[in-house]
């Protein structure tokens, strides 16, 4: 049996998350159905580096599965994509060592969360960006994000239902970047010179929260983003992040940010 590794990209809008759930459309389900249709093998289990929630997207999800297929990686790439719906694409295929496991061998993951901060959001952003129309103090958000770097107990950002008992994680990157204009992969809004008889609305800026860590708890990134937005709104001070971490109390952190602004960008291995 071969151990086959895939890098997969998907738009999570119409999926009920990654994991197979009876009666719901999930990414794992459609991938396993594509593998079964291609190889004729039943009971194939596709392992992912981590489970994404309903509405969360992935640019570089890593998965592996075992199969006796003799198709070469290039053939598998073409054939799998031919069997997959348009909101899922396999980006690469390779044979992995027999003991490789997409989840257990992962050393770090990188997520990005996108926020449109301005009075106007493009309709093309609505499935991929959280629109926050109120002005945000980006410098304060940056200060708060930097306080999360290093090894901490992230219980304060952990939703109930997390399967792992240990809530200590190490963050290597935790940064907020502000850029003007459209989200990079979306069509820019056409600009014209305003006339006296026309009023134009300012689209504001895009805030990207990028975080890299050795692991993440359930809803952890979204809870961090929700807390950072509260800092940006002036509802809490950036320096309070230290006490919040030490408290381990989820009730003291901010609301969980919506799922559609979150992307799993990259998974790194040794």
Active site residues: 53
Please state whether 220 falls in left (phi above 0), alpha (psi between -120 and 50) or beta: alpha
- Nearest Cα to Cα of residue 182 among 206, 201, 208, 210: 206
Q: How far apart are CA 175 and CA 212, in angstroms?
A: 9
């Amino acid at each position: 049996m071969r151990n086959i590794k895939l890098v997969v990209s998907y738009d999570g809008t119409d999926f009920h998350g990654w994991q197979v759930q009876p009666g719901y459309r999930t990414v794992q389900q459609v991938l396993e159905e594509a593998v079964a249709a291609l190889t004729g093998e039943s009971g194939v289990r596709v392992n992912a580096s981590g489970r994404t929630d309903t509405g969360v997207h992935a640019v570089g999800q890593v998965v592996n599965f075992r199969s006796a297929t003799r198709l070469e990686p290039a053939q598998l790439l073409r054939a799998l994509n031919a069997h997959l719906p348009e909101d899922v694409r396999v980006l690469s295929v390779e044979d992995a060592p027999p003991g490789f496991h997409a989840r257990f061998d992962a050393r770090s993951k990188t997520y990005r969360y996108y926020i449109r901060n301005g009075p106007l959001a493009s309709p093309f952003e609505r499935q991929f960006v959280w629109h926050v129309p109120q002005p945000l103090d980006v410098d304060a958000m940056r200060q708060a994000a930097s306080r999360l770097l290093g090894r901490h107990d992230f219980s304060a950002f952990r939703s109930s239902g997390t399967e792992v008992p240990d809530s200590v994680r190490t963050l290597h990157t935790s940064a907020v970047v502000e850029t003007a204009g459209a989200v990079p992969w979306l069509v820019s809004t056409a600009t014209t010179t305003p006339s006296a008889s026309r009023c134009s609305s300012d689209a504001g800026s895009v805030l990207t929260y990028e975080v890299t860590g050795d692991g993440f708890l359930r809803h952890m990134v979204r809870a961090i983003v929700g807390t950072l937005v509260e800092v940006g709104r002036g509802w809490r001070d950036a320096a309070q992040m230290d006490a919040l971490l030490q408290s381990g109390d989820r009730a003291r952190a901010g609301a969980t940010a919506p799922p559609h602004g979150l992307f799993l960008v990259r998974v790194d291995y040794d």
